[in-house]
Amino acid sequence: MGWHKDGSIWVLWKPTLFDIQFLSYSAQHIHMLVHSQTDDKRFYLTFIYAYNDLNGRTELWNFLKKFSEECTAPWLWLGDFNTVLSPVERLGGSTSDAEMEHFQDCVSTCCMEDIAATSALFTWSNKQAPVDSVAHFHPEGLFDHCPCTIMDRNSEIHGRKSFKYFNMWGAAPTFKSLVSASWSKSY
């Protein structure tokens, strides 16, 4: 587990799947090099829980920009940036133009781009490799932030996938006829 005494970020992983080398941490970030045991890939990963104020975040943006100058491998940012890139992304909060401009500058300087997500949340990648990734955000459960799974769309998913049945399906007027038609087909 990685953590910082003044921060609110915890990093947990399975040591049988990943080797983690912690490179830097502060109250706003934990930065590491990740080595996958399953496919021998290496990438940088930075977990972020940015301060609520612009002045506090400036230190974080400067760290990210400085590291981007020497970064030569794929790099992901995950977390809560406490700002957005454009007014369209504002969801009930208030973000000033100055805050957005500082974040825009950081994202641009670091050559990051928003990766596809299966929800309306934002995660960043630096395009160092032809990455075709997707971030899936799970229900938040007990916390006010959602757990996230990042997957390479090109990688195979191993193991069994569980089937989930939702009661609402059975209430659909065409449910029984669709199931009956499917069961009568030969495969």
Tens of pLDDT, residues 87-103: 665 555 566 777 888 98
Q: Which residue has the higher pLDDT, 68 or 132?
A: 68
pLDDT at 84: 81
Q: Average of pLDDT values for 65-80?
A: 91
To 10 degrees, what angle do helices 97-109 and 54-68 make?
10
| Per-residue pLDDT reduced to its tens digit, 47-58 | 999 998 888 999
- Domains of the chain in start order, with CATH, are 18-183 (3.60.10.10)
pLDDT of residue 120: 44
Structure confidence at residue 137 (pLDDT)? 72
Rounded Cα distance, 133 and 74, in Å: 11
Partnered with residue 133 across adjacent β-strands are 152
| H helix intervals, 110-142 | none
Spatial separation of the C-alpha atoms in residues 163 and 98, rounded to whole Å: 47
DSSP assignment letter at 2:
B
* 3-state SS class at 10: coil
Distances, alpha carbon 186 to alpha carbons 18, 107, 174, 181, 183, in Å: 43, 52, 21, 10, 8
pLDDT at 113: 85
Beta-strand relationship, 75-80 and 29-36: unpaired
Three-class SS state of 171: helix
